[in-house]
């Protein structure tokens, strides 16, 4: 096969950041995605409808001329989030709210510290038809970082989906066979996003031969058996799994230091890298569902009408990209040859 045409895809989980960074991140995403679920973990976080709509305006200002792109905004849940915040957000067209356990990842210190105290908010979200997007890790210091997703399922997520069966839940950026099995066996109101890095890499790619900071993300890469479970999940064609890059830009200096930031900036090659994974799995026929239809179907949104074409052509992801402020950033899979390319 030398080309593949699919319905224009969407990215159901990414980070744009804010300010001048938007002039890099928004065009990189809008080049191939029609919509994106935008994470709200700014500083300060996006905790209400007014802040979300103001942020949406800044994103739209950064969309290149001639591109069609629709940012789908989210609320950042805290223990101060009220049921009225949910009502107001839904009325403003905000489809989802994000649950970060406090301290789980970048800019999450203000997030939820007492999860069970959020139950009235979850009930209101179910009533309003607002989706709950979950960063599924516990943050207890005694729990090994490689076990945090599994423990979250056992201690927290099982209870949430049982208590609120009408609440639509997206288990974001899953990293383990445990998570893939949980989602596959749950009700139709539970789905998951999977990143390119968790399909392509395992913890050897982070730790063998020295720490590789540009492969460091949270949830952290797991052992190769979990990587294989995720690959089999997408190969299955199940509508419960769909594209969410978790593209998360950090300047090179913030990644390559004594306490490097978590996140992989994959927007520069995301759809191409997914195509490469599906080709390796002999499942290119499943790419369109994963990238273009499962997500909008789960969110209750219309599928996109336009298409994109990928051609089998080798190109190399740049070693660095220069941000608008002059700082370099290292994209995910920098310097590697990719076998699929977005047609002009």
CATH of the domain at 83: 3.20.20.140
Dihedral of the CA atoms 104, 108, 113, 115 (nearest 10)? -70
**Residue 173 labelled as part of a binding site:** yes
Residue 92 predicted with pLDDT over 90: yes
Q: Is residue 17 part of a domain?
A: yes
Residue 339, in any domain of the structure: no
pLDDT of res. 18: 97
What pLDDT is stored for residue 103 in this prediction? Answer: 77
Q: How confident is the model over 197-224, as pLDDT tens digits?
A: 999 999 999 999 999 999 999 999 999 9
Distance CA 31, CA 166 (A): 35
Residue 146 assigned ligand-binding role: no
Could you report the per-residue pLDDT of 116-171, keeping only the tens digit for each?
999 999 999 999 999 999 999 999 999 999 999 999 999 999 999 999 999 999 99
Q: Is 41 marked as a binding-site residue?
A: yes
The mean of the pLDDT values for the chain is 96
Asked, for residue 277, whether it belongs to a domain, the answer is yes
Residues 6+ apart with CB under 8 A from 115: 99, 101, 156
Domain membership flag for residue 322: no
Tokens of 39: 């994470």
Domain that holds residue 249: 11-303
Two structure tokens written together for 28: 């990189």
Question: Would 42 be classed as within a structural domain?
Answer: yes
- Is 4 inside a domain boundary? no
Cα-only R_g, the chain: 19
With a pLDDT cut of 90, the percent of the chain lying above it is: 95
Question: Catalytic residue at 246?
Answer: yes
Determine the pLDDT at residue 111. 78
Residue 240 placed within a domain:
yes
Q: 149 phi and psi, to 5 degrees?
A: -70, -45
For residue 107, pLDDT over 70 is answered with no
Buried b / exposed e along 170-202 (16+ C-beta atoms within 10 A): bbbbbbbbbbbebbeebeebbbbbbbbbbbbbb
pLDDT of residue 290: 99
Task: Provide the number of structural domains found in the chain.
Answer: 1
Identify the active-site residue in 246, 285, 306, 319: 246
Q: Which residues contact residue 323 at a Cβ distance below 8 angstroms, ignoring those fewer than 6 apart?
A: 20, 21, 24, 251, 329
* β-bridge mates for residue 11, sequence order: 36
Q: Assess whether pLDDT exceeds 90 at residue 112.
A: no
- Better-scored residue on pLDDT, 252 or 107: 252
Q: For residue 90, is it within any domain?
A: yes
The pLDDT score that the predictor gives to residue 106 is 74
Confidence class for position 108, pLDDT limits 50, 70, 90: confident
């Amino acid at each position: 096969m030398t080309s593949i045409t699919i319905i224009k895809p969407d990215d159901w989980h990414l980070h744009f950041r804010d300010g001048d960074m938007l002039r890099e991140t928004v065009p990189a995403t809008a080049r191939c995605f029609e919509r994106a679920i935008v994470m709200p973990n700014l500083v300060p976080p996006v905790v209400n409808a007014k802040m979300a709509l103001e942020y949406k305006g800044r994103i739209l200002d950064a969309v290149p001329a001639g591109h069609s792109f629709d940012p789908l905004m989210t609320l950042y849940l805290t223990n101060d989030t009220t049921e009225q915040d949910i009502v107001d957000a839904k009325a403003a067209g905000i489809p989802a709210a994000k649950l970060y356990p406090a301290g789980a990842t970048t800019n999450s210190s203000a997030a939820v510290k007492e999860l069970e105290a959020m139950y009235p908010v979850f009930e209101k979200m179910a009533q309003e038809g607002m989706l709950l997007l979950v960063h599924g890790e516990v943050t207890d210091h005694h729990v090994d970082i490689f076990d945090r997703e599994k423990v979250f399922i056992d201690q927290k997520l099982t209870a949430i989906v049982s208590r609120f069966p009408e609440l639509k839940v997206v288990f974001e950026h899953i990293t383990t066979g445990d998570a893939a099995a949980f989602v596959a066996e749950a009700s139709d109101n539970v789905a998951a996003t999977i990143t390119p890095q968790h399909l392509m890499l395992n913890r050897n790619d982070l730790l063998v031969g020295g720490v590789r900071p540009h492969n460091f993300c949270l949830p952290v890469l797991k052992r190769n058996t979990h990587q294989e479970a995720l690959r089999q999940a997408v190969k299955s064609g199940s509508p419960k799994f769909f594209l969410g890059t978790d593209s998360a830009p950090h300047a090179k200096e913030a990644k390559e230091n004594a306490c490097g930031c978590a996140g992989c900036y994959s927007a520069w090659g995301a759809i191409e890298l997914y195509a490469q994974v599906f080709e390796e799995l002999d499942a290119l026929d499943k790419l369109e569902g994963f990238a273009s239809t499962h997500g909008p179907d789960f969110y209750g949104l219309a599928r996109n009408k336009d298409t994109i074409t990928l051609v089998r052509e080798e190109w190399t992801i740049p070693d660095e990209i220069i941000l608008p402020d002059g700082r370099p950033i290292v994209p995910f899979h920098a310097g590697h040859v990719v076998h699929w390319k977005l047609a002009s």
